[in-house]
Structure 1
Amino acid sequence: MKFIKSIFSTINEFFQRYFVAIAFIVGVLLLIYSETNKNYKQVCHTIGSIILTSGIFAGIAKSSQFTEIYKKIIRDIIYSQEHLEVRKDLEDMWEKVTQSLSKQKFSTISDAIRTNIKKYFLPVDHDYYYDNFNIEMNIEFLDESKEYILVSEFVSYTIVCDDEELKIDNKFKCGIKIDLANKEKTTHNLNKLSINNEIYDNPTNSHIESNYLWTNYENVLKGKKSYLIKREETKQYNLNYNNIRKHLAMWIYNDLTIDITYPNDLYIEFHDMGVLNSFSIEKKNSKAFKRFKAEYKGLIYKNQGFFLELRKK
């Protein structure tokens, strides 16, 4: 039995190695024979053509050059922009690629890397971003003791999406800690809100909870590919209870600027939070006031941003 298997194995190996040459010779001989034998001309010509063609094709397919060309064509088709745009499994494919890449360097934390990148950096749950986010602040002391400040703030940004039918929750929420001895002195007023230059009247809700004055609004945007949001507000509060002003990106920001005008006897220290690059800082002082401007060019991702530390001198 082993002897028979050995014979078949040898024959099989022989044909695999010399198939191209055998097919070429047999095919040519059958074509020649078809021209000399009228009785079997058609049959020999057909069989000879098939065998000769098969041999030629097998020879091409075995060549390394053909293999590389074939692989390149397949890769170009599968990973072309046109093909990727119509695929329904892009998210799954991205996860597999990211998993493979991260496992090469960080095998023990590759799952966490993939999950965090997907959650915070990719447009999986949000089909929009915030463009040109600008914050302008003017700060004044309200009393001689310099405990209370008045903050006049103007915020503008554009929400950009590709789908006019997309529903976008435009939200705002702010909490100010209350001085319990002077509750009435802590205020927050949203003076003006406009969306694409259309003014919205009294859109906010305010309530006190856990010694904080909470102010918020929410509206749904739909029907356009961009929405210019402008917000004007004033806040009054005790600096000792609220000496940190923090701003974190709700989702992807493209460019962020904060411009602050404040009195000479107020100290402000700026800290960036988790951004990939650096803010450019500009300071201008005069006898009457100080001015601080921080500008970030590029993308800021969810939960990245800055915070301000305020204290009187």
Structure 2
Amino acid sequence: MKIPSLLITITKGLFKNILYVAIFFGFLFLSFGYTNFIITGESAWKEVFKVAGSIILSSGVFMAIAKSIQFTDIFKDELRKVIYSTEHLILRTDLEDIWQKVTDSLCQQKFSAINRKLLKNIKDYYLPINQDYYYKDYNLDADIEVDQENDGYVLIQEETKVIVVVENKKGCDYTFSGVIPYPEDDNNRTFYELYDLEINGKKVELKNNLHLKTTKANGFISVDFSYHCNSSKTEYTIVRKERKRYALSVNPYRSHRAVCLYNNFFLDLNYPKDMEIEWIDMGVLGKWSKNRRDTNSSNRIKAQYNGLIFRNQGFLLIFS
């Protein structure tokens, strides 16, 4: 055995049995300091051995305790709490790599060839990373009537009530948009009107071209609305009322696609007796609960979705 290898082996053996080594040398040095076994009479060396023996003995005991604790379940559990705590994770710059490893382990290393694409799509389309708020209990009441004065057109009145939940108390920008097509011979019969908006029970004074912008071009009316909710609240109850008229020949449907994360959706739809509606789920992970409540004068559908609706998911109604 070579000398360096022998030294390494001896060193490892000393550290492995540090408690016994410290006890041996600690008591040995203390015996030198408190007895006349080696040094007789009064001597400064006795004080040196007393101090050295005390230090070695206490240090050895401490190292032995620390060495045993670091491998106990208590130490490992506390370490996990630190590593996976929110305070620690928000400071990490490699969260996507950590997420990848956790997902690989969760899937037991399955589908490794597409995991990167899978995680990217989940992050981009399902996680509200770039969103300032989400919708809670989205209620949409819609009434559809045949326009008696304009053949082939329908009049729609909608009331939307929703709770906007924000992350912080710095307010939020409440926005929505839509597109309504119109035929070439429309003659301005197609229109859109936002006639009432309330936020937390307070009526909002609507200003065209500041909050609401409507443009008409290339066969489409485009609607864009933006309003800054400026308060220290974390929830805003918004009630929005709209009217619109359009031609079924170019727009025989009513779609609703989520623009952000929704938690619960309720629809109450009234429409004429001579109109048929086909319902199509758009991408939702669960099932819509639908009930027919027709009357002698109109048809009525009440639909409900309990749970989360992600971006671009919702429903499509086709009129005929």
Whether the TM-score (by the shorter chain) exceeds 0.5 is yes
C-alpha change, 1:163 and 1:14, in structure 2 (3 Å) is: closer
Partner of 2:39: none
C-alpha change, 1:11 and 1:190, in structure 2 (3 Å) is: closer
C-alpha change, 1:17 and 1:264, in structure 2 (3 Å) is: same
SS in 2 for 1:266: coil
Partner of 2:219: 211
Matches for 1:205-284 after TM superposition, within 5 Å: 205-225=213-233, 226-284=235-293
C-alpha change, 1:171 and 1:11, in structure 2 (3 Å) is: closer
Partner of 2:82: 77
Per-residue CA deviation, residues 111-170 of structure 1 (Å, 9 max, x unaligned), is 22333333333343223222221111111122499722111111121222243324x332
Query: By how many angstroms is 1:286 displaced?
Result: 2.0
Partner of 1:34: 33
How far, CA to CA, are the matches of 2:249 and 2:96 in structure 1? 47
Query: By how many angstroms is 1:88 displaced?
Result: 4.4
Query: By how many angstroms is 1:221 displaced?
Result: 2.3
How far, CA to CA, are the matches of 1:55 and 1:199 in structure 2? 74
Partner of 1:178: 182
Instruction: Determine which structure has the larger helix proportion and give its number.
Output: 1
Matched AA of 1:276:
L
SS in 2 for 1:33: helix
C-alpha change, 1:78 and 1:148, in structure 2 (3 Å) is: same
C-alpha change, 1:53 and 1:189, in structure 2 (3 Å) is: same
Q: Is there any run of 5+ residues in structure 2 with no aligned partner, and where?
A: 37-41
C-alpha change, 1:200 and 1:106, in structure 2 (3 Å) is: farther
Per-residue CA deviation, residues 264-286 of structure 1 (Å, 9 max, x unaligned), is 21111222222232222111122
C-alpha change, 1:51 and 1:229, in structure 2 (3 Å) is: same
Whether 1:44 and 2:49 are equivalent positions in the alignment is yes
The answer to whether the 8 A contact 1:61-1:67 is kept is no
**Among residues 134, 137, 142, which one is paired with 2:142 in the alignment?**
137
The answer to whether the 8 A contact 2:253-2:318 is kept is yes
The answer to whether the 8 A contact 2:176-2:225 is kept is yes
Partner of 1:89: 91
Q: Is there any run of 5+ residues in structure 1 with no aligned partner, and where?
A: none
User: Under a length normalisation based on structure 2, what TM-score does the superposition of the two structures give?
Assistant: 0.84
Query: By how many angstroms is 1:94 displaced?
Result: 3.5
Per-residue CA deviation, residues 239-281 of structure 1 (Å, 9 max, x unaligned), is 1211121111111112211110111211112222222322221
Partner of 1:7: 6
Query: By how many angstroms is 1:65 displaced?
Result: 7.0
How far, CA to CA, are the matches of 2:154 and 2:192 in structure 1? 12
SS in 1 for 2:186: helix
How far, CA to CA, are the matches of 1:3 and 1:202 in structure 2? 90
Taking only aligned residues, the RMSD between alpha carbons, in angstroms, comes to: 2.6
How far, CA to CA, are the matches of 1:159 and 1:27 in structure 2? 69
Partner of 2:62: 57
